[in-house]
Amino acid sequence: MFIIDSYQLAVVFCLITMLCWGSWANSAKCTSPKWQFPLYYWDYSIGLILTALLFGLTMGSFGTEGRSFIADLRQADFASLTYTFIGGVIFNLSNLLIVAAITIAGLSVAFPIAVGLALVLGVLLNYLKVPTGNLLLLFAGVLLVVIAMVVDALASRKAESSKGKASTRGIILSVISGIIMSFFYRFVTEGMTMDFTHPEPGKLTPYSAVLVFSVGLFLSNFVWNTFFMYKPITGTPVSYKQYFTNGTTRQHAIGILGGIIFNIGFLFNLIAAEKAGPAISYGLGQGSTMIGAAWGVFWFKEFSGAPKSVNKYLAAMFILFIAGLGMIIMARVN
């Protein structure tokens, strides 16, 4: 299977993760307003599985190092499969909640709070498992991300109060989503080996882990997504019949594309974990907060009409995020 051989390349892979994780949700905005998110999400989950199979049967099966994709799945023990599957189930619930938060509060608010909180807690959990990197630099970077989250929340409240609206509900959903999301990566890496060249027997390598994660997400859709279909936090209820009768080829393709974008980022992140360590790899990947916020601020103009003083908060948020991510990168170099 394809394995990277340097920390520098691992950082590049994590930056690709940032772009993918911070951008996949934009595909949902390209569908018809009548095609509500729970319907889009079924195609998204199918896109995850297709991506995992494609990369597993190509990059995961070529080369002389490590275990090939099919052989890796065959030798995996029950505990490794279960941990990784549960990771998909946990992530699915948090992902659906963050989308609801985005609908209420916007990308530039929900993403920094939910994913930023997941970054902070997730880095801590993953560092406790595999303590890789300079502890002082790593957590100094995380602290800057926390401050960036607070600044973003302040910007949101200032903007919303000027419009006479309340964003409290969206912020609460973002916090709940972030707490749940912080656990998924730990479960996935619990089922993985961190030596890809000489993988531990029974454990999964990145290509097989992404597939098991994706299957966990897809199957849990029948619980989580079904609930949001019939009891939506926002919007109107939808049914399974609507998925099969109302969707166009374009709408289904857009949903699958969203899944492809996300899972390319996830796979690249797991591949990078061997050289970077799970805490740093996860922390850099969750820098997608900055990408999501940038989409909301600059493309979707979610703060248009807000007082000019809000721009100072937004500028401070981006500077703090960038500085925090820089420290997380340097934590491994040093």
**CA dihedral (143, 297, 257, 239) positive or negative:** positive
Is the pTM higher than 0.85? The answer reads: no
Mean pLDDT of 279-292: 73
Q: Using one digit for the tens of pLDDT, what is the confidence trace for 198-254?
A: 999 999 999 999 999 999 999 999 999 999 999 988 778 999 999 999 889 999 999
Mean of per-residue pLDDT scores for the chain: 85
For the chain, the distance separating the N- and C-terminal CA atoms, rounded to the nearest angstrom, is 29
Among 104-108, 150-154, 205-209, 308-312, where is mean pLDDT lowest? 104-108
Among 56-60, 113-117, 299-303, 308-312, where is mean pLDDT lowest? 299-303
With 90 as the cut, is the pLDDT of residue 278 above it? no
Q: Which residues of 124-134 are buried (b: 16+ CB within 10 A; e: fewer)?
A: bbbbeeeebbb
Place of tokens 């974008």: 261
With 60 as the cut, is the pLDDT of residue 140 above it? yes
Structure tokens at 259: 């899944």
Among 94-108, 146-160, 313-327, where is mean pLDDT lowest? 146-160
Answer yes or no: are the C-beta atoms of 115 and 286 closer than 8 Å. Answer: yes
**CA dihedral (53, 59, 61, 67) positive or negative:** negative
Check residue 163 and give its pLDDT. Answer: 46
What distance in Å separates the CA atoms of residue 25 and residue 290, rounded to the nearest whole number? 14
How many other CB atoms sit within 10 Å of the CB of residue 136?
11
